[in-house]
Amino acid sequence: MVSRMRNARAALAVTLGMCAAIPVPVAHGKPAADASNTERAATVDTRATAIAFEKFKLPNGLTVILHSDRSLPLVAVNVWYHVGPANEPAHRSGFAHLFEHLMFEGSKYVGHEFDRILEAIGATNSNGTTSWDRTNYFETAPSENLETLLWLESDRMGFMIDTLTEERLDVQRDVVKNERRQSYENAPYGPSSLTMLNALFPEGHPYNGAVIGSMADLSAATLKDVTEFFRQYYAPSNATLCIAGDLDPARTKALIERYFGTLPDRKRPEAKALPYAPLPKAERLVVKEPVTLAQISYGYRTPPAFTADDPALDVTMAILGGGKATRLYQRLVVQTKLAADVSASLESNQLASIASLSATVASGKSSAAVERELDAVLAELQKNGPSAAELARAKRRILVGALSSLELLNGPGGDSGRSGLLQRFDQYTGDPGYLPTWLSQIERVQAKDVQRVIKQSLRADARVVVVTEPVPSPASTEQAK
Amino acid sequence: MTRSPRLWALAALLGACASPPAAPATSPLTPPPAPTLPPDPESFRITPPKAGAHPAVQFPTPSVKTLKNGVTLLVLRKNAPVATLSVVMREGAGALPAGKSGLAALTARMLTEGTQLRSSLALAEASESLGSTLEADAGRDASSIELSTLTRDVPRGLELLAEVVFKPAFREADFARVKDEWLDGLRAERQEPNRLASLAALRSLLGPSAGAPVSGSIPDVEKLTVADLKAFHQAHYVPANLALIAVGEVTLGDLESDVERLFGRATAGAQPKAPDVVLPEPPSKLKLLIVDRKDSVQSSLFAVQPFPKRSEPGFEAREILASLLGGLFTSRLNSNLREKHAYTYGVHGQALATRNWGAFYLATAVKSETTADSLRELLGELERARDPKLGAPINEPEANRARTDLMHSLGARLEHTSSLADSVATLFAQQLPSDYYTKYPALVGAVPTSEVTAQAARLTPQRMTVVIVGDRAQIEPALKQRGYELEAADPQLTE
């Protein structure tokens, strides 16, 4: 996920992996067999965790999801367009994200003061982000300003293209290029992560080119491309509007009708379809970077979001990493001291999810040894499965993380918090209320499921290994003199 | 909430002049357009909606109780399935003598690495089976250990926190491991150009002691021992310095007896005197330091100057100032460097205000070729904010956006138990009245723009300390041409 703002805190959600992980009403809590822990595990919180919502469609095809919760005078508007890098034309990598930046440049009736208007009404968590399958735009504001938010979002949905100039395209193109420099080219392990993405999704795959895109493709984008992309993908029928928080449903529906009802209907574009396939082979790539610590990353294509094995992969990743009492941390950082840092994450997407394991090699240790240890941890977990206590801890961390996320009307990247979760579920399953189903799937994951998904999806013969090798940076040699 | 009148004039103008939306379903029989355009059915959009009545949103005042031994209990009730529990100790890196940087942060971290009753692994298992990892954190003025858990696990969470704080193990073997991991973390941090710039700039301005990073310098941390940690723990983790903060579906009454039993028995110790803080004289002219990083496609800039510390009057006015200069998306600096010139992906600025010192900074990463222009724009914006006679005095709309943003950012924190716990921790660490945040919106709203202008007069762009991390050979000629002389940063500044 790449976002428009300078403080792209949203990126954090991605690195957390099971992050946007989703709540769990474990009413049917089975006693988990953690000996020290039984009584706790036996009675999991039964508080309603399902998010109450209403979903309907306007005649022009716009999907609307409403969630009313009047406990705080705040309201979040979160608009998802079902378009992302997967839909980019050939040689236009990065275009969906560049387009996202342009959506803040102004629109016909509102003018060019989008951000000033938002700041003046006390909007917070206002941003846009682009992920493989979707682009979202969102803001939270004091609820008396709901109408202003709808006025702003509807104007850019309908009339953004009317006011865009070549000059503003050039400015945002340069801003995005700076974003690429800052987040990838000039950032430690940034070049390695681009190498990983390009190997996971080579030329020809809809996800090819990374969300940020290439400099050459960004340079090539024209105003005509913007117009075509807008006409093709920014139709009401290709968008879902979610409003969550302090709202009166009847009044809100009238406002939606007023601001979105007259936007012209356009044909909903065909969804990208591509049967899921794991990587056809193993690949190993070495990237030299001016860093002091080597790094090893494994990347896998895993089954699409919310398909059968996705929950077991979520649990597997939580057993491997994300806490101190996890396999990778204990084995690589605590016991063998081979790594300074480890991570395990799962990013669930439409065409293929991405599972990643990575370890920063500790000073004076060899990356080959780290790689052997990573493989050994995976092999052991596959052979013997997790203990009952490990399984229970992983599920509990997912539960508490998810319940924390539910406190928010919207999360920092617009894909967590209540409106973000409603949108995520709707995008990937068609049911905004999929939460309890997903939660019970997580709860039902057993040791043998973990073993199975490692065997099927985290395979040594179908993965990308990226090794970041330090090259002495000229800066450090000079300073050492 | 005042909106810029200019803004609406512009919107109206654009609306009136723009072409009407594409006619729906044009047919070849459609007559040619009449000389006067038909009324635009969408023209209602030209008029911005009016906001309704502003519902009162109030930051709750926590319930406070001080135990006999001096431990403070702060409880905020919030309807939420997850509770955040936090032990806050109101000393951090600011309490460290010279040569001991990193000690406060490492002590907090080692508290989560095992107790006299549990090994490091057993402790991690215990907290994670409650739902989260124990998070140790330290800042300049406070240290903390936090845990998120289901409401019904709160009593167990409290037990764990009390054990962590009062019965730490500080085992040699664990410390050796954690220290190596920590040192690699410091090395990893120093790979990041933006981080390098901030490290060097703060140390250059504030000196090796106050300016050292909270996480420590590599040589200082290498020398730390378990004895240092034990001494820091013994001296500072004393009841009078400690607060237990709970936010969630709990009340003071629910927790009182547990907290009394778990936290009320520690004996009160004398609080050590804080070290005297002596800051170096700030530079008398622009100080431009370069950390050479060959082949960088961007230059990281960190510009900093002394500013008042937390307790000096005018704190909220300085927050407004920092916000309109470098905090808001439409801040002066972001509008200039990003939205006008496209030199950068973003600029960020803040007024740091600790118990012992304050500093105002601006940070950005700019395309290498634009380094000299960016620096000129950055210093120029500060000059214009400082001197109203230069034609850009601080204006009401921008000050209002900043006020509004500060008030509502606080309101947004009401959603999340962990953000609420952070705010309550600030109350305790900075010894603010317990209703400070309850009154904060009124406080910020009452700051006159003239007061923001008065604070802006403290800006000293001509005497800033600026660190650039970038490719010296590539950027130096243009800098020289503009009269900027570079000086190599002493490697000690980034240790």
Q: What is the dihedral angle through the alpha carbons of B434, B436, B438, B441, rounded to the nearest 10 degrees?
A: -170
Indicate the average pLDDT of chain A. Answer: 88
CB pairs < 8 Å spanning A and B: 309
* pLDDT above 70: residue A30: no
Whether pLDDT at A478 is above 50: no
Cβ(A410)–Cβ(A140) under 8 Å?
yes
Q: Does residue A435 carry a pLDDT above 50?
A: yes
Give the Å distances, CA to CA, from B472 to B300, B343, B469, B475, B477: 12, 18, 8, 5, 9
Percent pLDDT > 70 in chain A is 88
Asked if the C-beta of A430 comes within 8 angstroms of chain B's C-beta atoms, the answer is: no
Secondary structure letter of residue B325 according to DSSP: I
Under the banding of pLDDT at 50, 70 and 90, the label for residue A399 is confident
Instruction: Convert the pLDDT of each residue in A254-277 to its tens digit.
Output: 999 999 999 998 888 887 788 999
Residue B195 tokens, joined: 């981080």
- Please judge whether B1 and A155 are an interchain contact, meaning their C-beta atoms are less than 8 angstroms apart: no
At residue A4 the predicted structure's pLDDT band, cuts being 50, 70 and 90, is: low
Inform me whether the pLDDT recorded for A445 exceeds 60: yes
A196-216 residue pLDDT tens: 999 999 999 999 999 999 999
Interface test with A, best of B184, B300, B343, B417 (most A CBs within 10 A): B184
Q: Do the beta carbons of residue A345 and residue A16 sit within 8 Å?
A: yes
Q: Which chain B residues touch A120 with a CB distance below 8 Å?
A: 1-4, 397, 400-401, 404
Q: How many CB atoms lie within 10 A of CB B373?
A: 17
Tell me the pLDDT tens digit for each residue of A287-301: 999 999 999 999 999
CA distance B105 to chain A (A): 17
Checking A41-45 for CB contacts under 8 A at 24+ apart, the result is: A41/A392, A41/A396, A43/B152, A44/A399, A44/B150, A45/A403, A45/B81, A45/B150, A45/B151, A45/B152
Domains delineated in chain B: 63-263 (3.30.830.10), 287-494 (3.30.830.10)
**Predicted confidence (pLDDT) at residue A109 exceeds the cutoff of 70:** yes
pLDDT value for A25: 27
Per residue in B116-170, pLDDT (tens digit) is 999 999 999 999 999 888 999 999 999 999 999 999 999 999 999 999 999 999 9
Element (H, E) at B488: strand B487-488
Looking at residue A5, what is its pLDDT? 56
Do the Cβ atoms of A144 and B334 come within 8 Å?
no
Report d(CA B449, CA A369) in Å as an integer. Answer: 61
Identity of the residue in B45, B55, B153 whose CB atom sits nearest the CB atom of A155 = B45
Residue B2: its chain A contacts at CB < 8 A? 120
Task: Using a CB–CB cutoff of 8 Å, tell me whether A336 touches chain B.
Answer: no
Contact B319, B351 (CB under 8 A): yes
- State the pLDDT at residue A21: 29
> Any chain B CB within 8 A of the CB of A334?
yes
Q: Among all residues of chain A, which has the CA nearest to that of B415?
A: A408
Instruction: Compute the CA torsion angle B448, B451, B453, B455 (nearest 10 deg).
Output: -150
Q: What percent of chain B has pLDDT over 70?
A: 92
On whether any CB of chain B is under 8 Å from the CB of A477, the answer is no
Cα distance from A137 to chain B (closest Cα, Å)? 15
Which residues of chain B are within 8 Å of residue A341 when distances are taken between CB atoms? 181, 184-185, 188
**Contact check, Cβ <8 Å, B54/A162:** no
Domains and CATH numbers, chain A: 52-260 (3.30.830.10), 283-480 (3.30.830.10)
Show pLDDT as tens, one digit a residue, over chain B (495 residues): 232 333 223 232 332 333 333 333 334 445 555 556 778 999 999 999 987 767 667 899 999 999 999 999 999 999 888 999 999 999 999 999 999 999 999 999 999 999 999 999 999 999 999 988 899 999 999 999 999 999 999 999 999 999 999 999 999 999 999 999 999 999 999 999 999 999 999 999 999 999 999 999 999 999 999 999 999 999 999 999 999 999 999 999 999 999 999 999 998 777 777 778 889 999 999 999 999 999 999 999 999 999 999 999 999 999 999 999 999 999 999 999 999 999 999 999 999 999 999 999 999 999 999 999 999 999 999 999 999 999 999 999 999 999 999 998 888 889 999 999 999 999 999 999 999 999 999 999 999 999 999 999 999 999 999 999 999 999 999 999 999 999 999 999 999
Q: Which of A168, A324, A337 to mutate to probe the B interface, most B CBs <10 Å?
A: A324
Burial grade of A222 (CB within 10 A; 0-12, 13-18, 19 or more): exposed
Whether residue B117 lies within 8 A of chain A, CB to CB, comes out as: no
Q: How far is B272 from chain A (nearest CA, A)?
A: 33
Distance from CA of B315 to the nearest CA of A (A): 21
* CB within 8 Å: A404 and B10: no
> What's the pLDDT at B327?
96
- pLDDT exceeds cutoff 90 at A477: no
Angle at A17 between CA A14 and CA A21, to 5 degrees: 105
Full-model pTM: 0.90
Per-residue model confidence (pLDDT) at position B33: 54
CA distances from A203 to A90, A199, A200, A279, A370 (A): 10, 9, 10, 13, 30
